[in-house]
Structure 1
Amino acid sequence: MFWSVALGIAAAQLRHRRRQTVVSTLGIALGVGFFIATSSVMSGSERDLTQRLVDNAPHITVKDEFRKASAQPIFVAFPDGAVALDNTKPREYLRGIKNYAAKVEELSQHPGVVAEAALTGQVIVRYANKDVSASLAGIDPEKERLLTKVETDMREGSLMRLRTASQGIVIGNGMSVRLGLGLDDLATVVSPAGLVRRMKVVGIFSTGNLLLDEGQIYMLLKDAQVLLDKPFIANQIRIRLPDPNAAEGFAADIEARWGYRSESWQEVNRDFLGLFVIRNAITYSIVSAIMIVASFGIFNIISTVVLEKRRDIAILMSMGFRAADIQSIFLIQGVFVGIFGMVLGWGIGLVLLQMLASIEFTIPGMTEKQGLVLDKGFFQFGLGGLFALVSAVAAAWYPARKAAMVRPVDIIRGAA
């Protein structure tokens, strides 16, 4: 019985100040709508960029180098020597990962782990009197298609043709356009060692990334070893895990065992991923400020109603309404405005998401037009709605408490 009466009184008071109620509801709705839109853009772009980092590169790269420089023999022999030695000639080591085939085999024994030995270096690709500097990756095509998305990015030919074609290479679409180099054409590849090979284009890929499309080529590991004059050498072991989030710990275990520098995708992109935290903090702070400003509208309405209805409050309390009942009536008003604002804000959020999804723009360094990647999950709408309700109730709490503290005897005496 009480709740039906309380709901009727709360609704009547909100209707009495219809204009202020509408303005406050719109304020909450706009806050929810912009919260959904900005949160969807931030979350979607973060998820998309993280997925690109995970899909387009190995989860772990083991390199033929060490995280800390090795101590020179003189300092090992005399660690506490009192005489300083300058201009000592450091010991030079043959670059490459020792016994890489056995290491790849051992890593591949782990369930779901894909491991591949690779040889990387810089070369020059020449065609029709034009030269382009490129990063070379000598790979195993069968494993590379599991490590990265290069196979799905192929526009012409196939990555697997490297196995069947003699002296084959796979190039990016940007390099193809820049050199006028087409599928099955023969290009001249020159290594820093001075070796020159005529190689056949067996595939052309397009990632949308200008740096990769213009400056990356692939060939078989054995062909790269011959071209770079590094027989039986690999300078990287590239690893993909079933769970990308486990890459950091797995890389630490590899480095502790073999000593070679092992970089997880999180380590390589740590600075980049750290920007997400700062960006999200700034974005949510701005949107939160919008919601707080909108809450002041609710605070203003209920405070005004409390001042105007002091006699009514006194009459209700004299009729048997308790202080908690009076407080509940005004809190219900805040909940009403919060619910109406939440529902209207969901509609505004959907409209904004449709508008944002239609936007396309060009990013420097990307060969294709890009659109906003949106996260349209329930979480964004649920969080925005919860924020609206919490802010509405919080704004209504203080004036509701003041209403509950009204002393009916003083009000009635003052009116008399």
Structure 2
Amino acid sequence: MSTTQPAADPGPFSRFEFLVAWRYLRARRRDRFVSVIAGLTLTGIALGVAALIVVTSVMNGFNSEIVSKLLGLNGHFSAYPIEARFTDYEQSASEIQGVDGVIAAIPYVEGQALASGAKADATGVIVRGMSLASVEKLKLLHDGAILGHWDGWDEGNGVAIGRRLAEKLKVNIGDPVTLLSPDPGNLGAGNRPRTRSFPVQIIFDLGMTEFDSFYLYLPMQPAQDYLDMFDRVVKPGASVPAVDAPEQEREAAYDRIYRATAVEVFITDPNALDQMRLRIGQQIERPLILSDWRQQHQNFFDALQTQGSVMFVILSMIVVVAAFNIISSLIMLVKDKGTDIAVLRTMGATRGSIMRIFGIAGVAIGVGGTLLGLALGLVIAANAEPIRAFLSGLLGVTIFPPEVFFLSSLPSRTNPSEVAAIVAVAMGLSFLATLYPAWRAAQYDPVEALRYE
């Protein structure tokens, strides 16, 4: 007498469960609407993941580019004098340069003025004086010259201006730029504002609007003369001239002792600010105030960090909404497949098997959308600037104008750890979204489902 052996249990996540889940996701005539909803849900997840990857990459590139530009021209520290005037700036810069961990120490003078060209109105500029030796240490500035050259910079009397400032003033190499710098202390005595013209020797393009539009560089001594950055000391053996004496006579009676505004300090490790501040303070006798780049630009970087966090949260809502769409699409699928669930149960499918079938269907939507969004986001992030330029030309509108975003191009830098976190969060939400609909499907009573069939 032969006996029929029961069919072997295929076990969890068997080929049978995957085949049924895939069949339920395929678009057929009767349940095409459910498959369209699943496709739209997949698209929503893909767009959310891609948007998150693109935004985080652009924000990372923006922060990195801003920091590199700022630290390419401004030091990690700015050393300002305490009490006494900064007439010993060369000796102080030399001592700071000798501190272990310091790359360069660059003295400079700085002031504000109004600049005007022969064919344009005046605009505010920041006048900064530097020697050629200091400029050569600033590779970003030295290599950023697109017109003119730095040869004979110290011996000349020309200026270096940014490309955008040159366009604003409508000047080119050799054209005069007139600087007007009122001194409030002298205007009360009836004196005129300081006005002087300098020929344009160099036009540079640093790729950052702030520097290309507002900075004007002069050789060190002409800048000190123009900005009155010197003290007058009576020459040995000379007498103090009368107040109403001619200007040439007054000038001949004095020696000029030049001073600087500060010394820019560049260090090897931008993150070791506290250690380097302590080290410089211990090894330099001259009392100096060391203001680091985080203190100088704290509000700016805090705003960037806040903006990035807010953008991340807002765009994350796209993925959350798509995850809720997984719930709704699976619930619709469960309602549509009620009879199929009852038949499978009568054929021996367990509640766990039914739950896994619909769980596989939901996770497939989430994983597919996440992987599609990952590929799309990485492609867009890697080609952010060409895409921006193409859309700007196509629409005739400047997308991400440099006057607002400080940079002349749209940078992008993808962080693998952030991308991995985005993918993990998207897949985790997709998995959680499938639990309730799959559990509901497993609770179907086959008798009730087949009663009216």
Alignment match, 1:11: 22
Which secondary structure state, in structure 2, belongs to the residue aligned with residue 11 of structure 1?
helix
Q: Aligned in 2, Cα 1:116/1:48: closer, same or farther, shift over 3 Å?
A: closer
Following superposition, the deviation at residue 334 of structure 1 comes to 1.4
* Residue 28 (structure 2) pairs with residue 29 (structure 1): no
Which position in structure 2 is the counterpart of 1:116?
A: 106
1:33-48 equivalent positions in 2, closer than 5 A: 33-48=50-65
8 Å Cα contact 1:313-1:326 kept in structure 2 = yes
AA matched with 1:5: F
Equivalent residue, structure 2, for 1:395:
433
Q: Counterparts of 2:117 and 2:343 in 1: how far apart (Å)? A: 95
Q: Which residue of 2 aligns with 1:89?
A: none
Q: Secondary structure at the match of 1:118?
A: strand
Q: Which amino acid aligns with 2:73?
A: N
Q: Which amino acid aligns with 1:265?
A: W
Instruction: Map residues 357-376 of structure 1 onto 2, 5 A cutoff.
Output: 358-360=390-392, 361=398, 363=401, 365=403, 370-375=408-413
Q: Secondary structure of 2:74's partner?
A: coil
- Residues 181 and 331 of structure 1: is their aligned pair in 2 closer, same or farther, counting only changes over 3 Å? closer
For 1:71-220, what aligned pairs fall within 5 Å after superposition?
Answer: 93-96=83-86, 101-111=91-101, 113-122=103-112, 134-147=125-138, 149-163=140-154, 165-173=155-163, 183=173, 201-207=200-206, 212-213=211-212, 215-220=214-219
Task: Describe how 1:162-311 pairs up with structure 2 within 5 A.
Answer: 162-163=153-154, 165-173=155-163, 183=173, 201-207=200-206, 212-213=211-212, 215-227=214-226, 228=228, 229-230=230-231, 231-247=257-273, 250-251=276-277, 254=280, 259-309=287-337
Q: How far does the alpha carbon of each residue in 1:36-77 deviate from its partner, in whole angstroms, 9 at most, with x for none?
A: 343343333333333332323222211225xxxxxxxxxxxx
Q: Which runs of 5+ in 1 are unaligned?
A: 66-92
Distance 1:289 1:55, change over 3 A: same
The alignment's C-alpha RMSD in Å is 4.2
Aligned equivalents of 2:68, 2:356: Cα separation in 1: 48
Deviations 1:297-356 (A, max 9, x none): 211232233345456546655666554443322221112111222344346544695644
Secondary structure at the aligned position of 1:150 is classed as helix
Q: Equivalent pairs: percent with the same residue?
A: 22
3-state SS of 1:342 partner = helix
Change (3 A) 1:149 1:402: same
Q: Report the CA distance shift for 1:379/1:294 in structure 2 as closer, same or farther (over 3 A).
A: same
Instruction: Determine the C-alpha separation between the residues in 1 that align with 2:61 and 2:367.
Output: 26
What TM-score, normalized to structure 2? 0.69
8 Å Cα contact 2:362-2:434 kept in structure 1: yes
1:61 pairs with 2:78: yes
CA contact (8 A) 2:208 2:407 kept: no
Greater alpha carbon shift after TM alignment, 146-155 vs 200-209: 200-209
In 2, Cα distance between the equivalents of 1:233 and 1:278? 40
Does structure 1 conserve the Cα–Cα contact (< 8 Å) formed by 2:338 and 2:449?
no
How far the C-alpha of 1:390 sits from its partner, in A, is 2.1
Whole-angstrom distance in 1 between the partners of 2:410 and 2:116: 37
Following superposition, the deviation at residue 376 of structure 1 comes to 5.4
> CA shift at 1:131, angstroms?
7.7
CA distance in 2, matches of 1:305, 1:363: 47
Q: Is the 8 A contact 2:54 2:380 kept in 1?
A: no
**Residue 238 of structure 2: aligned partner:** none
